[in-house]
């Protein structure tokens, strides 16, 4: 896609380690990022990120496993790895600022169980409609982000971080099984309830999820009706959105406004992530 940045381009925040910088990212950064990404359930990415950060904060254990014999280089390697993990956790909203701070302040001596959240009850469309009515009465704006989320990926979480701005509520609309079949014979890859539950378990980003009710991508009236019934103020779009003109017409019909994502985080799409998972695990649907 145009203007797309490599994920590693975002790691320029790390202290420079001279000519070995790229080697460090390829040797250590990319494998760690792959381990975080290649999970069938994004909730597991959250737990793995916390576990990695806890492990690297144990200086004695880290040096025993990763020592090069150069004390200065070992210290720098450890500091960069901590920065890498903190940055990854934050940019993808895998951990909240408070959770990252807790891990750092306690030097990794924390209960990792807290990073595997309890499942939230899934509301019906009508129940969510009641909540959005209350939010509107309280003065909140309602943002909406649609997708198949089959499965949810780190890219989705990064985009939702941008969407869930202060003072606004973010709703995530998921393709129903009939809608998602247009994307291939193997779709959906993951059952709808699990797709919703994964997203619901990032409550600092997602105020609520709902299943889109139109059964065809060309049902403009159906999409507009869902937006209107939920009181949606703006709908988040990619610049290269599928059926962009139709989407814009649906949004306008609902009395809402389009809003475009600015950031791009590389080719971490659901399809590519699932191909990577399948090639590594040789497993099928969830």
235 with 227: CB under 8 angstroms?
Answer: yes
The residues near 101 (Cβ < 8 Å, ≥ 6 apart) are none
User: What pTM, to 2 d.p., does this model score?
Assistant: 0.83
The model's pLDDT over 134-177, given as tens digits with 9 standing for 90+, comes to 999 999 999 999 999 998 988 888 888 888 877 899 999 999 99
Residue 24, pLDDT > 80, answer no
Q: Check: CB of residue 54 under 8 Å from CB of residue 112.
A: yes
Task: Provide the pLDDT for residue 79.
Answer: 86
Of the options 3.40.50.880, 3.40.190.170, 3.40.50.620, 3.30.360.10, the CATH number for the domain spanning 125-281: 3.40.50.620
d(CA 249, CA 269): 25
Quick one: tokens of 154? 């780190």
Q: CA-CA distance, 266 to 5, in Å (whole number)? A: 6
Over pLDDT 70: what percentage of the chain?
Answer: 87
Environment class of residue 159 by beta-carbon count within 10 Å: exposed (0-12), middle (13-18) or buried (19+)?
Answer: buried
What CA–CA distance (Å, rounded) separates 271 from 190? 12
- At 264, is the pLDDT very low, low, confident or very high (cuts 50, 70, 90)? low
Tokens found for residue 259: 């809003």
Tokens at 65, concatenated: 């496993």
Identify the band that residue 25 occupies on the pLDDT scale cut at 50, 70 and 90.
confident
Rg (CA), the chain: 21
User: What is the CA angle 253-259-263, rounded to 5?
Assistant: 155
Consecutive H or E run containing 266? none
Return all residues near 139 (Cβ < 8 A) that are at least 6 apart: none
**Higher pLDDT residue, 139 or 19?**
139
Residue among 229, 225, 204 at smallest CA distance from 214: 225
Any idea where the domains of the chain sit in the sequence? 7-115, 125-281
Residue 234 confidence (pLDDT): 95
């Amino acid at each position: 896609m145009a203007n797309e940045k490599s994920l590693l381009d975002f790691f320029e925040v790390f202290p420079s380690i001279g000519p070995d910088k790229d080697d460090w990212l390829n040797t250590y950064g990319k494998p760690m990022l792959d381990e975080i990404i290649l999970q069938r359930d994004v909730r597991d990415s959250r737990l793995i990120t916390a576990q990695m950060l806890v492990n690297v904060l144990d200086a004695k254990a880290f040096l025993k496993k990763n020592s090069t014999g150069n004390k200065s280089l070992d210290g720098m390697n450890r500091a960069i790895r901590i920065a890498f993990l903190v940055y990854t956790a934050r940019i993808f909203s895998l951990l909240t600022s408070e959770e990252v701070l807790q891990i750092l302040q306690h030097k990794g001596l924390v209960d990792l169980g807290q990073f595997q959240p309890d499942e939230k009850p899934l509301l019906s469309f009508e129940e969510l409609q009641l909540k959005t009515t209350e939010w509107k009465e309280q003065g909140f704006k309602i943002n909406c982000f649609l997708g198949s989320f089959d499965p949810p990926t780190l890219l989705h979480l990064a985009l939702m971080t941008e969407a869930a701005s202060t003072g606004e509520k973010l709703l995530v609309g998921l393709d129903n099984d009939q809608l998602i079949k247009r994307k291939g014979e193997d779709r959906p890859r993951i059952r709808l309830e699990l797709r919703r539950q994964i997203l619901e378990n990032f409550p600092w980003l997602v105020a609520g999820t709902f299943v889109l009710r139109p059964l065809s991508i060309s049902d403009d009236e159906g999409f507009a009706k869902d937006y209107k019934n939920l009181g949606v103020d703006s709908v988040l779009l990619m610049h290269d959105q599928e059926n962009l003109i139709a989407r814009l017409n649906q949004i306008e019909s609902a009395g809402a406004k389009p809003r475009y994502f600015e950031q791009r985080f590389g080719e971490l799409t659901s399809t590519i992530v699932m191909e990577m998972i399948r090639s590594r695990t040789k497993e099928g649907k969830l």
